């Protein structure tokens, strides 16, 4: 499972990241790994991860290449990086994509529901 988010330590992104953290055991039970990606630096991710005790991988996509490869578009005329979650099966096939800039907690709910459905 890969989720793209706009920026470390902003209110919505922190709520989303902590929600993934709080349900981390559920994802492990479902055999899923969580990878969060934003354009923040490695140091920013390290600080964000430590501050909020995030038990999963955060990747720095400072040039936006991974975001572009996944086709994640910005919002507000491209000024704010998009918030999109991609769910893959165990073979690496994309089985679900969810995009919502403002409904940050729905990303976790959608991911758990889809993973349970596809077990």
Catalytic residues: 13
Closest CA to 47 of 9, 21, 4, 11: 9
Beta bridge partners of 75: 80
Give the DSSP per-residue string, 4-53: E-S-TTSHHHHHHHHHHHHTHHHHHHTT---EEEESS-HHHHHHHHHHHT
Beta bridge partners of 98: 85
């Amino acid at each position: 499972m890969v989720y793209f988010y706009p920026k470390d330590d902003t209110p919505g992104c922190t709520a989303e990241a902590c929600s993934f953290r709080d349900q981390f055991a559920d994802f492990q039970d479902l055999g899923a790994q969580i990878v969060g990606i934003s354009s923040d630096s490695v140091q920013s991710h390290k600080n964000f991860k430590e501050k909020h005790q995030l038990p999963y991988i955060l990747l720095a996509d400072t040039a936006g290449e991974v975001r572009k490869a996944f086709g994640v578009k910005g919002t507000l005329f491209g000024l704010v990086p998009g918030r999109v979650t991609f769910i893959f099966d165990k073979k690496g096939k994309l089985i679900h994509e969810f995009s919502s800039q403002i409904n940050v907690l729905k990303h976790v709910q959608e991911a758990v529901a889809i993973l349970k459905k596809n077990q």
